Amino acid sequence: MVTLEKLNKTYDGAAGPVAALRDVSLALATGDFVAVQGPSGCGKTTLLLTCGGLLSPDSGRVALLGRDLYGLAASPRAQFVAETIGFVFQQFHLIPYLDVLDNVLVPTLAVRSAEARARAKSLLTRLGLAERAGHRPGELSTGERQRVALARALLNQPKLLLADEPTGNLDPDSAEPVLAALAQFAQDGGAVLLVTHEERAASHARRRLRMREGQIVG
């Protein structure tokens, strides 16, 4: 489903160039749940953003469903990413003045449809949030907010989920439903790339990799 080939990315730091990715190669197939672990600053988030079409590498190739992601112009790439990738971040990025249902529907608000609304309600039910559909984010627990963000990521029925420290703000009880939903997504035929420094979160993955100083080292 996803192939990363010899990715390199360097940032200009105050003390000189910082190599965030150094010849990183990785492949994910349908059904894969891969966790990438490592300390802060090792390149995990850069890897995730590059995989998701949000950050161009300096060199290397990202292929998603057989298409060269950075070979596409910006607009077609954005459309392709929206149709195929769901993102879940540590910060939930919910809109405070919208209720839960409309937050889940954000990816389709420009073109409202009964089908999307029905799918959103189904996702909320599946994630144990049906009774919260009319609440605003400020009325939810942190675990509930992350499940709303996960429902939003799943709304467009993506093939790939990219999760950046999705349980970083959650206690173990709140984290478990989020991690279980990621595992279920992979079992249902999707693929998940999770970056985390937490052993608890990584233990749900089927494959675990470690990064250090921009490289996969184990």
Query: 95-141 pLDDT, tens per residue?
Result: 999 999 999 999 887 667 888 899 999 999 989 999 999 999 999 99
Nearest to 170 by CA among 189, 148, 193, 192: 148
Report the share of the chain in percent with pLDDT over 90: 73
Q: How many residues does the chain have?
A: 218
- What's the mean pLDDT in 187-200? 93
Residue 108: predicted pLDDT: 83
| Band of residue 206 on the pLDDT scale cut at 50, 70, 90 | very high
Indicate the burial class of 145 (C-beta count within 10 angstroms; 0-12, 13-18, 19 or more): buried
Nearest to 159 by CA among 35, 50, 32, 44: 32
Amino acid identity, position 22: R
Residue 111: predicted pLDDT: 65
> How many CB atoms are closer than 10 A to CB 172?
10
Residue 151: predicted pLDDT: 93
Residue 13: predicted pLDDT: 78
Query: 98-107 pLDDT, tens per residue?
Result: 999 999 999 8
Mean pLDDT estimate for the chain: 92
Dist CA 201 CA 203 (whole Å): 5
70, 57 in Cβ contact below 8 A?
Answer: yes
| Band of residue 49 on the pLDDT scale cut at 50, 70, 90 | very high
Report the share of the chain in percent with pLDDT over 70: 98
Query: 6-36 pLDDT, tens per residue?
Result: 999 999 877 788 899 999 999 999 999 999 9
Domains detected in the chain = 2-216 (3.40.50.300)
- What's the mean pLDDT in 164-190? 90
Q: For residue 189, report the phi and psi dihedrals to the nearest 5 degrees.
A: 110, 5
